[in-house]
Structure 1
Amino acid sequence: MESYWNGPEAAHRRVMMKAAGYSDEDIKKKPHIGVPNSFMEGSPGSAHLRQIAEAVKQGIWEAGGVPVEFGIPATCGNIANGAEELKYEQVGRDIVAMSVEFVTKVHNFDGLVMVASCDNIIAGCYLAAARLDIPSMVVTGGSMQPGHHCGKAVVEADLDVARFSGAGDAYLDELEECVCPSFGACPSMGTANTMQMLGEVFNLVMPGTATVPASDNKKLRQARAAGKYAVELVKSGRKPSDLITKEVLLNSIMFDMAVAGSTNAVLHILTMAYELGIDITLKDFEKYAEEIPCINAVIPSGPYTVVDFHYAGGVPNVLKMLEDKLFTDVPMMTGIKLGDYLGKLTARPNEVIHSLEKPLFHEPGLRVLRGNLAPNGAIVRPTGVPESVKVMRGKAKVFDGDRAAFEAIESGNIVPGDIIVIRYEGCKGAPGMKELMLSIDALIGLGLHTSVGLITDARFSGFNFGAIVGHVSPEAYDGGPIALVEEGDEIILDTVKGEATLCVAEEELEERRKNWVCPPLKEQKGCLTLFAKNCRPAEEGGAMQPW
């Protein structure tokens, strides 16, 4: 820092900082800590982050650092729910990471405290931390309170389903008024809350703070404490590469199995590993799926919200339940070992967070499927699959996109026993690996999720449930077997054993392959095209990491 801000060569830098209001002492002698803030007025997950960022900056000043706040992109995936633009969301992870990288490199920050809540935005912040490898942390925005309607707790996902269930406009108007009653991330095990929780396991979020609800003013107190601690983190020199080891990432996989996190977490964990040069693959997810059952009763695996989860002990309580399985001789952000931290905790099994001995399900929160339809893997959340469709053999109904499948569902062309195939919605095919909110919400709203399966090279929202298998790789655009499926082919989806099989002879598939033609990219310019040309496949995280 000193050489960058001191001496005659740095005069032009100092004058810019002085003109922005910083003093000579601030500029020359104190650690400069960037505060990337994903504040955005158009979403409850980010509209409250100005206040949280202010608390972070107060803590940094108090501890003798110099905060420099700057804005980073933020979106709300629900805004694009059902629209073609939803395919931008995963690309946003890379855009956020690059935005943080760009500003941090130019301004030569000594450390970072990123403020974020939602989906690919917070995942992008974690990716930025791994890429920049300077002392870094994230302060989460917390979760939203559930709403209440006619004496029943409701969340935003209830509105999504109600849209397709035949409910009248008056009922929808009532739900709209109450399903999102506060700031914060939607309080189910969607991607936002999954990634907030995983931040603690990654050693990028202060222990015990990830799930403090946005409406609890403890969030502000802890944001200020995080800002103070960031200065100590910078002085200690502890970087993400020191704190995010292979064993830490394996712990994150075990944690994700236990809480039945969003299937998107698989992409983000794999991307973190690739960025840090750590050898983590889908085989590691397969291994821990055999060992770790789901112990978390948060929607959609159970009836509770993330607010309930927090007050039931939150991330620390889950880690304590997993203590005998975890790698405990790993570092923590606070400078101690995980084992020392867990040794001071008392396990508190309850109706929200169960013990491993008495799990909520005797199956994992995530499972990898393989077979000739997904040679490189596919992903399902078994705890969200109804018993009636855990093992299916059905006829394929094939669609080259979410909208076409949705229209078939709406028109009654999908019947019990069918297996919907949606392709060309993967990393390159979309481009951007779209979430299939239209089709899935329609299946659930019409009650077909208990009798119809779906397999795709796209991904799903963490809100979704049913016999839905995503992340099929190779994707259709790359000529994967999913591109060769024809209407009426028999498919086996076994979410218990982990099988995705196309019941067509290999010779026939070879004949079909000869006639297959790769379609042109759906986008010919802009960030989606850059993503398609530079992203890794889904089984390697699907990020723009061509190196």
Structure 2
Amino acid sequence: MRSKSMTGGLGKAPHRSLLSAIGLTREEMNRPLIGIANTANEIVPGHIHLDKVAEAVKAGVRMAGGTPLEFNTIAVCDGLAMNHEGMRFSLPSRELIADSVEIMARAHPFDALVLIPNCDKTVPAMLMAALRLNIPAIVVSGGPMMAGPDSTDLITVFEGVGKRLRGEISEEELLHLEETACPGCGSCAGMFTANSMNCLSEAIGLALPGNGTIPAVSGARMRLAKQAGMRVMDLLEKNICPRDIVTEAAVENAVASDMALGCSSNTVLHLPAVFREAGLNLDLDIFDRVSRKTPNLCRLSPAGADHIQDLHRAGGIAAVLSELKKRDLLNLDVLTVTGKTLGENLDALNARVLDESVIHPESAPYAEQGGIAILRGNIAPDGAVVKQSAVAPEMMQRTGTARVFESETDANDAILGGKITKGDVVVIRYEGPRGGPGMQEMLSPTANITGMGLGADVALITDGRFSGGTRGAAIGHVSPEAADGGPIALVRDGDKIRLDIPARELELLVDEDELSRRRAELKPFEKRSDSPVLRRYSRQVSSAASGAVYEDK
């Protein structure tokens, strides 16, 4: 056992003395030491209850003969960080969380890990840490929030701001939304980034069936946590490690599941970062190739009215995978944390769709292509990302007039001030990983475009990123970003931009001679930050096209 390097032998008497100081008996020290990495805190709704989840995990570990030792790391709520400087710290938190788990697990050599994330960056960060450390590990999330009355959720509130400004709803109605749309603990109720990554953790095989969809408030969530605690002991006994599970075949499964579910566009940032820790390459071309052959089977909020609780009721992730199996789109022989293959899991669960209004059968999908599309063109030669399953049909092909902004704040002020009109293409630049710095998530501008009644008439293009709650013709991750001299830096007010999602094209309709003149005149533009964290991040981070991971200098 790894922990014996800390607890075994004559020379480790001082170490055992310190463990005695925290109340461990000699019997507990002699058992496998299981690290419980928890992201619980009292500010994030998705994490407020994770102390209870951790207690259930620890009970499972003890039942199976291990000694659980809990430690905590940070977590940012993207909703609370939205539309102010705090959002610049969200994506950088992914690397800090992964690093902190690695530090704790190497400084205190646990024999195995149970990782308890729930919201946006915590899930990919925990997956990254698991693969980096490559000791037996399992992920169990805190589960999704229930939807509010009348199928409302956080996005309803964001869009309510624009509706209030238009006089479509009253101040009292907006206040009612504020107080009811998010009814309790859990990751926000739609197929936003947190739930996308929790569902994909299950599809990848690093979490137990049910991890992505069992509601946070359900007793089944606590049972799942206990099962995770017991399962990690079996993984330890059999020496099954994350890189035994996350293989090239698992990459294809993850992307196919992503496309079928209609997950957040942020998965295009997170999955490459996760798989990179296993030495596997996941570029934008894989997303596009798999998207073209994978049917979109779900339209959960923001793309539709259903929520994660509905997906769970309809059969969950296993049911979606069972439909992909019918088209031979899955590698069924991959290992999972159950100790069985994905195919064996689906058979054991008798996985099938229980409500075809929530999960469409593969024979009658919402669309024959997946939820995400990768666009390229002279604005984005290295690629851009759009959640095509949440785009209005009339916006799938459109030519519009550029309205250029150097920050999200300026763009948002223009949208709410009524300065954006039908046919405009809002361009927000210098908001990429390096230029932001921090690559802000832009739910406010997209929600306000919808709230102002422009969702079917206005596109938004940025080198920044979007919330999983974003809907509409919102094209993000434009690469190279403006701060790296990308062509998005050359766009000017009044330019025409052509968007063709079916053809995967994004073009600035300006001739090359004019673009060359603009490039020669381009002056470097840099947003200086007074944050040492962000300055360091800006120096180290790579392009969004490669997952915004730290570059090896």
> TM-score, normalization: structure 2?
0.96
Decide which of 304, 307, 312 is 1:305's aligned counterpart. 307
Preserved contact between residue 247 and residue 327 of structure 1 (Cα < 8 Å)? yes
Q: Corresponding residue for 2:352?
A: 347
Residues 133, 308 of structure 1: CA spacing in aligned structure 2 closer, same or farther, 3 A cutoff?
same
Decide which of 329, 333, 338 is 1:329's aligned counterpart. 333
One-letter identity of the residue aligned with 1:250: E
Preserved contact between residue 399 and residue 498 of structure 2 (Cα < 8 Å)? yes
Structure 1 residues not aligned, in runs of 5+:
none
**Superposition deviation, residue 64 in structure 1:** 0.8
One-letter identity of the residue aligned with 1:50: D
Structure 2 residues not aligned, in runs of 5+:
none
Task: Report percent identity of matched pairs.
Answer: 37
**Superposition deviation, residue 183 in structure 1:** 0.9
Whole-Å separation in 2 of the counterparts to 1:84 and 1:321: 42
Q: Which moved more, 1:202-211 or 1:94-103?
A: 202-211
One-letter identity of the residue aligned with 1:86: M
Q: Corresponding residue for 1:62?
A: 63
Q: Corresponding residue for 1:278?
A: 280
Preserved contact between residue 46 and residue 141 of structure 1 (Cα < 8 Å)? yes
Residue 189 of structure 1 pairs with residue 191 of structure 2:
yes
Describe the SS at the equivalent of 2:455: helix
Preserved contact between residue 94 and residue 125 of structure 2 (Cα < 8 Å)? yes
Q: Corresponding residue for 1:105?
A: 106
One-letter identity of the residue aligned with 1:25: E
Whole-Å separation in 2 of the counterparts to 1:35 and 1:318: 30
Q: Which moved more, 1:484-493 or 1:161-170?
A: 161-170
Alignment of 1:104-503 (within 5 A): 104-148=105-149, 152-166=150-164, 167-323=169-325, 324-344=328-348, 345-348=350-353, 350-503=356-509
**Superposition deviation, residue 437 in structure 1:** 2.0
One-letter identity of the residue aligned with 2:122: I
Preserved contact between residue 144 and residue 309 of structure 2 (Cα < 8 Å)? yes
Whole-Å separation in 2 of the counterparts to 1:418 and 1:521: 26
Aligned pair count reads: 543
The one-character-per-residue Cα deviations of 1:239-260 (angstroms, maximum 9, x if unpaired) are 1111100110111000000011
Residue 535 of structure 1 pairs with residue 537 of structure 2:
no
**Superposition deviation, residue 4 in structure 1:** 3.2
Whole-Å separation in 1 of the counterparts to 2:307 and 2:39: 24
The one-character-per-residue Cα deviations of 1:32-83 (angstroms, maximum 9, x if unpaired) are 1110111111122110110110000011111111101011101211112211
The one-character-per-residue Cα deviations of 1:205-249 (angstroms, maximum 9, x if unpaired) are 112333110111111111111101111111211111111001101
Whole-Å separation in 2 of the counterparts to 1:321 and 1:346: 9
Q: Which moved more, 1:51-60 or 1:269-278?
A: 269-278
Whole-Å separation in 1 of the counterparts to 2:543 and 2:413: 28
One-letter identity of the residue aligned with 1:77: D
Describe the SS at the equivalent of 2:151: strand
Whole-Å separation in 1 of the counterparts to 2:11 and 2:42: 40
Whole-Å separation in 1 of the counterparts to 2:548 and 2:365: 32
> TM-score, normalization: structure 1?
0.97
4+ residue runs over 3 A deviation: none
Residues 525, 170 of structure 1: CA spacing in aligned structure 2 closer, same or farther, 3 A cutoff?
closer
**Superposition deviation, residue 362 in structure 1:** 3.3
Preserved contact between residue 96 and residue 121 of structure 1 (Cα < 8 Å)? yes
Whole-Å separation in 2 of the counterparts to 1:3 and 1:226: 25
Residues 346, 128 of structure 1: CA spacing in aligned structure 2 closer, same or farther, 3 A cutoff?
closer
Q: Corresponding residue for 1:23?
A: 25
Q: Corresponding residue for 2:72?
A: 71
**Superposition deviation, residue 346 in structure 1:** 4.1
The one-character-per-residue Cα deviations of 1:423-455 (angstroms, maximum 9, x if unpaired) are 000000111111112211210110111101111
One-letter identity of the residue aligned with 1:246: E
Whole-Å separation in 1 of the counterparts to 2:275 and 2:138: 17
Preserved contact between residue 428 and residue 521 of structure 1 (Cα < 8 Å)? no
One-letter identity of the residue aligned with 1:503: L
Whole-Å separation in 1 of the counterparts to 2:6 and 2:19: 13
One-letter identity of the residue aligned with 1:271: A
**Superposition deviation, residue 202 in structure 1:** 2.1
One-letter identity of the residue aligned with 1:103: M
Whole-Å separation in 2 of the counterparts to 1:537 and 1:271: 11
Preserved contact between residue 420 and residue 455 of structure 1 (Cα < 8 Å)? yes
Describe the SS at the equivalent of 1:450: coil
Whole-Å separation in 2 of the counterparts to 1:181 and 1:477: 40
**Superposition deviation, residue 536 in structure 1:** 1.7
Whole-Å separation in 1 of the counterparts to 2:18 and 2:153: 47
Whole-Å separation in 1 of the counterparts to 2:304 and 2:28: 50
Whole-Å separation in 2 of the counterparts to 1:203 and 1:529: 36
Residues 119, 346 of structure 1: CA spacing in aligned structure 2 closer, same or farther, 3 A cutoff?
closer
Whole-Å separation in 1 of the counterparts to 2:275 and 2:76: 25
Whole-Å separation in 1 of the counterparts to 2:13 and 2:294: 57
Preserved contact between residue 112 and residue 137 of structure 1 (Cα < 8 Å)? yes
One-letter identity of the residue aligned with 1:303: A
